[in-house]
A and B are shown apart, each in its own frame.
Chain A
Amino acid sequence: MSSELAAFRATLAQAIGADHVLAAVESTAPYAVDGVCPPLVLRPGTQDEVALVVTACAAAGVALVPWGGGTSISVGNPPQRLDAVLSLERLDRVVEFDADNLCITVEAGLTLARLQALVAEKQEVLPLDPPNADRVTLGGLVAANLSGPSRLLHGTARDWVLGLRVVLPNGEQVRCGGRVIKNVTGYDMNKLFIRSFGTLGIITEVTLKLLPMPEARASVLGLFPALAAATSVLESVQASFLLPEAMDLLDPTAAGLLLPTLGLASPTGHLLATAFSGSLATVDRQVRDLEALVAGQGGRVLTLRDGASTQAWQAITNVLGSVPPDLLRVQIQVAVPIGRTAGMLASISARAAEQGLSAAVTAHAASGLLRAALLPAPGLPADSALEALAAATLALRDEAVALAGSLTVQAGVPAFKARVDAWGQPGSGFATMRRIKDAFDPHGLCSPGRFLGGI
């Protein structure tokens, strides 16, 4: 290992500069993946350097995990092998901002917050709002198909990516898509890499469609003593002509974490937060309609506009980040058919309570996606705590799968992941997925073992 490793390091130092080949534990420790500290961290500075690094890794049989902002690195199973982390942090340039065509091309390591600030100068916006925008990189956003509350109106990264550049596991650079909004030139290769979690190659460049900045934004927050009242409002909105940008539903624990920020001190309850954007006339009308619906169900109403609305949504989006820290904390994401979302929110609380866990649950209520932080009771021995966490998670997975949905582990300590597979059982189509993985990464060098079914 040592002489080979030394030769390999020398090759890399030649390619990207010795300063960007990190091997000292104090430099590599922050890049630990599921508790495993990588022997090397590589920080190429250009897309061509990424290709050089990956080519060298392929030649040496070095297993890589790509790293953008690290916000989704906890998603997935522990890597089967980890020889190096490939950090894209230095790839943070704007390649081309074509404001007239509502289109921007950036390197994969640029953060979402920086992109938003830049396009805002031209009154444009990328309508994707996952948590941690200040750290999420565009490459990571694509690799994990991240989304936030506004997926209700605007969808996910899948709906906004026009083109990608990817370094394949063999070091070849390829382009997918382009920069036009309709493109059927060959297969839709963007879709292959979106949500592939670094298992098919390294995304180095992203081209995205943008939207004009809306004239107005407002939010109506309704606090309800009972879940049924919140659900009733939700269903009324879905049956109406209203076009909310986001509808998030928070259980009392998650809502409780937010209330001080929002100025809704007490009493507690379920929080239904609805965002509207568009022309002032349509926003005003929708705010009025929703205020009436909330009041009609006995909810407390708080309406926020513009800056206050934006701030509230930042807090709502990041609410699970404000759950008190716990060493054994587990975060899950549950996907169910849209109409089952509120029911699943109640199930998560119930299953957690059965196992003596505390849970904070938040849902994109009209999109079928929920996220929850699960914490063990204080003072419980670690083994019992892990058992309880695993039991609740697996019970919830069974419920989600029975509804044609899924449960994925977003974060958990290695001992938890040893008990619960991050993705669950592969279903129909897995043989094709496996063949795709084998065709692109025959030696299993890109994030090996982290994805579905051991991919």
Chain B
Amino acid sequence: MTHQAFVQSLRQIVGAANVLDSDVHLQLYQYDAYLEERRPDAVVFVHSTEEVSRVVKVCHDFGVPFVPRGGGTNLSGGTIPFKGGVVLEMIRMNRLLEVDVPNLRARVQPGMFNLELGNALAPLGYQYLPDPASQKAATLGGNVAENSGGPHCFKYGVTTNHVMGLTVVLSDGEIVTVGGEAPDQPGYDLTGVFVGSEGTFGVCTEVVVRIVRQAEGVKTMLAIYDSIERGSETVSAIVAAGMVPATLEMMDQLVIQAVEKSLSCGLPLDCATVLIIEVDGLKDDLEAQTEAIERLCLAHGAREVRVAKNDAERALLWAGRRGAFGAVARLTPSYLVCDGTVPRTALPEVLRKVAEVGEKYDLQIPNVFHAGDGNLHPLILFDWRDAEQKERVMKAGMEILALCVQLGGTISGEHGVGLEKMDAMRLVLSEADIRSQLKVKQAFDPSDLANPGKIFPAPLEVAHVQ
């Protein structure tokens, strides 16, 4: 079948203006926030579940792969059309369909930005808890595909803990609705398995999320350290004292300096690290919790602890944290974000070793991370025009992931495997583990058209077995 016939079929479904296939347009859809690029054959703007189903059905009939794309903020190459085909541009499916307060649910389309949902719920006194740092530009469909985390996950869990149901289009065009309004639906937990499947099971076209009351009170504080090791020790000390803060975030000196250059949040430029700690809940003990945490920070070597006095000060602290990745982009033309996770108590050790990796490969590696979750984000700085440097970066990145695994952790906490970490999968998974995951892939997508070529490493050479 010719490209023209295929594109003509798509245009019949969504209208001529909603199918892009000129060079300039395709170039705009060949990259996301990861480092690889691959050009699609067509971009299709979709507007409804039925439209997605019809478009996917045409892809199926023509044997063309498809990749849904939300905000394109993915850090592991999840939205890059690795095998060409169609990019489904989901961004116009961005409506909040229903807020059902008595049943504590909201029904949303996948192209809605995470922050938009938060903004829509706030006036009602409700919130949707997962809050990836990129929430301004990351869509809920993307959050579902990647099982996104965010600063508040330590206390409240990740996307999967808050998604109650989904409408998805499978690769043959079948529309499936799973989970939803009532809990504990009989049968396998397809919702739970779909969340985090990185677009490889099908296209999510509607999400039912759990909403909760906003907290009565919140306190945000900044603990400033001259030693990164003491800062990360404090994280474990707070948890050991029986407290469950809403967030425990860390940024090191290089990140702080970058943030201050771009945002001026009032962070000290000369410290080794800061911890952003937030407690929320009922007002009655927030003061006491704040004081207890302040004492712990000081006892573990903090040189100063500042408590945000009002919403404006709090917002400023968060602007710094949420703007960290963007700010670091000012330092060098490119960076590779690692996303390894370790048991919390291994943080001081892993940070020391990450620094050693930086020295070994002669690379600058600032760190910003979800310390409470043990989820680090070393940002390896480089210039993509320098091929030799890029090679060192990739080796350093792989070494950091291997370190995390050695310390009892894993290769990705929240950014997904995508194209980036396919080769690192064997650091964690056995061949039997990989086979079992592929069985699920085949059950959802027998024709392998949904975001193909991702997540799984190439099969081992058969020669090994001889």
Contact = CB atoms under 8 A, between A and B. Distances in A.
Contact of B190 (A156, A175, A242, A429): A429
Query: Which interface residue of A100, A278, A337, A453 has the most chain B CB atoms within 10 A?
Result: A337
Interface string A352-384: 000000000000000111000000000000000
Interface stretch (B172-180, B313-321, B358-366): B172-180
Given A103-B343, A184-B147, A405-B182, A194 B192 contact: yes
A168 interface: yes
A100 B190 contact: no
Contact of A281 (B160, B236, B284, B370): B284
A145 B415 CA distance: 27
Contacts of B375: 180, 182
Given A285-B282, A430-B187, A188 B443 contact: no
B412 interface: yes
A419 interface: no
A394 B134 CA distance: 48
A173 interface: yes
Given A188-B147, A285-B284, A175 B182 contact: no
A432 B183 CA distance: 20
B394 to A, nearest CB: 18
A242 B282 CA distance: 7
Contacts of A282: 281-282, 284-285
A175 B433 contact: yes
B28 interface: no
A226 B281 CA distance: 32
Interface residues of B, number: 91
Given A187-B197, A187-B440, A178 B410 contact: yes
A185 B188 contact: no
B343 A180 contact: yes
A242 B342 CA distance: 34
B196 interface: yes
A180 B409 contact: yes
A315 interface: no
A349 interface: no
B345 A123 contact: no
Contacts of A367: 183
Nearest to A212: B242
Contacts of B282: 241-243, 278, 282, 285-286
A1 B216 CA distance: 68
Contacts of A181: 153-154, 341, 373-374
A40 B5 CA distance: 62
A102 to B, nearest CB: 7
A180 B170 CA distance: 31
Contacts of A238: 104
Contacts of A213: 242
A211 B187 contact: no
A329 B414 CA distance: 47
A439 B446 CA distance: 11
A175 to B, nearest CB: 6
B161 A212 contact: no
A194 B189 contact: yes
A335 interface: yes
Interface in B411-466: 411-417, 421, 425, 428-430, 432-437, 439-444, 446, 455-456
A186 B284 contact: no
Contact of A179 (B185, B408, B434, B446): B408
Contacts of A192: 188-189, 192-193, 440
Contacts of B374: 101, 180-182
Nearest to B341: A180
B157 interface: yes
Interface residues of A, number: 87
A129 B178 CA distance: 26
Contact of A424 (B186, B370, B408, B429): B186
B429 A175 contact: yes
B437 A186 contact: yes
B243 interface: yes
Which of A123, A185, A278, A284 is most buried by chain B, counting CB atoms within 10 A of its CB? A185
B414 A196 contact: no
A66 B331 CA distance: 57
A182 B281 contact: no
A123 B240 CA distance: 10
A215 B292 CA distance: 14
A27 interface: no
Interface in A323-349: 333, 335-340
Interface in B231-245: 236, 239-240, 242-244
Interface in A389-412: 400, 403-406, 408
A294 B290 CA distance: 32
A145 B126 CA distance: 27
Interface string B381-421: 00000000000000000000000000011111111110001
A335 B244 contact: no
Given A102-B239, A178-B409, A183-B341, A188 B436 contact: no
A155 interface: yes
Given A183-B413, A211-B244, A435-B446, A191 B439 contact: no
Nearest to B433: A174
A410 to B, nearest CB: 12
Nearest to A452: B187
A432 B193 CA distance: 12
A429 B167 CA distance: 10
A182 B192 contact: no
Nearest to B160: A188
A117 interface: no
A68 B39 CA distance: 52
Interface in B139-165: 146-147, 149, 153-154, 157-158, 160-161
Given A180-B409, A184-B147, A213-B242, A429 B103 contact: no
Contacts of B429: 175, 185-186
Nearest to A186: B437
Contacts of B342: 180
A92 B392 CA distance: 47
8 contacts: A180-B375, A180-B410, A184-B146, A186-B433, A195-B188, A242-B282, A284-B284, A428-B176
Given A182-B341, A433-B187, 10 more contacts: A145-B184, A183-B412, A186-B455, A212-B239, A243-B281, A279-B285, A279-B288, A337-B102, A429-B178, A440-B436
Nearest 10 interchain pairs by C-beta: A191-B192, A339-B102, A405-B182, A212-B242, A241-B216, A182-B413, A435-B443, A337-B103, A439-B439, A423-B186
